[in-house]
């Protein structure tokens, strides 16, 4: 598994934990063995994704709400919701990674951590967001 995939998975796990506990990043990271044993580069990127997503959560959720018009955000499976949030953060605010890579990574993570159809659902939402955004400029 690549460094960035591992970072995304760690960030997802901490986003999920934050949603359940509302604990600050430092407290979650300190008590998470996988975080402690990860390489520094993995932790650095995961921390940037985690903190960036949390800092922009209202904007991300608003965009997700526009993109998932037939699904209320709070009704989505928690894993899918947080995979989407993480990928949306990257698509909206991290310019260094091509959109296709972000979407592919989100799909693979959804297949690993989500339900049977999570990968397809995540793909549809993120692909639709990228298309809508490119049409509106």
Chain-centroid distance of CA 121 in Å reads: 14
Q: Give residue 74's pLDDT.
A: 81
Position 31 confidence tier, pLDDT thresholds 50, 70, 90 = confident
Residues 126 and 34: their CA atoms lie apart, in Å, by 28
**Quick check: 133 pLDDT over 90?**
no
Q: What are the boundaries of each domain within the chain?
A: 3-136
Predicted confidence (pLDDT) per residue in 82-106, tens digit = 999 999 999 999 988 999 999 999 9
DSSP label at 71? S
pLDDT of residue 105: 97
CB 61 within 8 A of CB 85: yes
Contact 67, 132 (CB under 8 A): yes
Section 130-137 average pLDDT: 84
> Measured between alpha carbons, how far is 125 from 68 in angstroms, rounded to an integer?
7
Asked if pLDDT for residue 8 goes beyond 80, the answer is yes
Q: Specify the length of the chain in residues.
A: 137
Global pTM?
0.93
Domain 3-136: give its CATH code: 1.10.940.10
Structure-block tokens of residue 114: 């989500």
Residue 73, Cβ density class (10 Å: 0-12 exposed, 13-18 middle, ≥19 buried): middle
């Amino acid at each position: 598994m690549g460094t960035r995939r591992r970072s995304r998975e760690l960030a997802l796990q901490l986003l999920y934990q934050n949603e359940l506990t509302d604990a600050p990043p430092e407290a979650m990271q300190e008590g998470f063995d996988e975080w402690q044993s990860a390489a520094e580069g993995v932790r650095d990127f995961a921390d940037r994704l985690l903190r960036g997503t949390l800092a922009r959560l209202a904007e991300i959720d608003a965009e997700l709400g526009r993109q998932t018009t037939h699904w209320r955000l709070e009704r989505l499976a928690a894993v899918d919701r947080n995979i989407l949030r993480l990928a949306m953060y990257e698509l909206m605010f991290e310019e260094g990674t091509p959109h296709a890579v972000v979407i592919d990574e989100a799909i693979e993570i959804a297949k690993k951590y989500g339900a049977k159809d999570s990968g397809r659902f995540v793909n549809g939402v993120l692909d639709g967001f990228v298309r809508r955004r490119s049409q509106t400029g």
